[in-house]
Amino acid sequence: MLNLGDEFPNFKAVTTTGPIQFHDWIGESWAILFSHPSDFTPVCTTELGRVANLISEFEKRGVKIIALSCDSVDSHKKWIQDIKSYAKHSGDGFPYPIIADENRDLAVQLGMLDPVEKDKDGLPLTCRAVFVIGPDKKLRLSMLYPATTGRNFDEILRAVDSLQLTEKKKLATPADWKSGGECMVLPTLKDEEANELFPKGFYVINLPSGKPYLRVTPQP
């Protein structure tokens, strides 16, 4: 299993838009790789359609999208027509590539197999993994969902907003934070440093312990 901060494998793959070398494909962008159990399945179709309709939101954040499913490129290309129809996604082509992982080589390498859910041949399905990779090619966030549970891509966008903000600012984002909301000053910062870094100031939430660790500041 990959740990946060590990360099993401620089794998070669065949996709619906041609062969790629992963790090070259990422370039200087952020990237999200998300996996799917199988083509022509209900939850996967809704997920890929949702991401296709959100592609402009990912592009605004400088994030490249790539999907993976354990079927062939030919199967993917036929499935794309169903995805576009379901999502009412117009236009030529498809806004992101889909990796063909027929032999499950990448699924094994990246620890994405679901031991509970199996296909008609009894082989483990790929779970619904999400990997967010930074421009430095390091893993910044990972999520694993079982094959039966679809993902919330608004949450993934929210997490990307937090990752990109906190990479540049000495802040943390609280529960249910959304871009533009109040942030938390890192506990490693002294008040003097916080005042210098956050000219809009911060306030402290009083707690029974008397410890002033909940320091809140507007998003810079």
Distance CA 130, CA 145 (A): 8
Is 70 catalytic? The answer is no
Dihedral sign (CA 48, 50, 51, 52): positive
Contact by Cβ (8 Å): 88, 2:
no
Residues in the chain: 220
Helical axes 153-168 vs 42-53, angle rounded to 10°: 50
The one-letter amino acid code at 72 reads S
Contact by Cβ (8 Å): 37, 69:
yes
Choose, from 44, 70, 127, 183, the residue flagged as catalytic.
44
**Looking at the annotation, which residues are catalytic?**
44
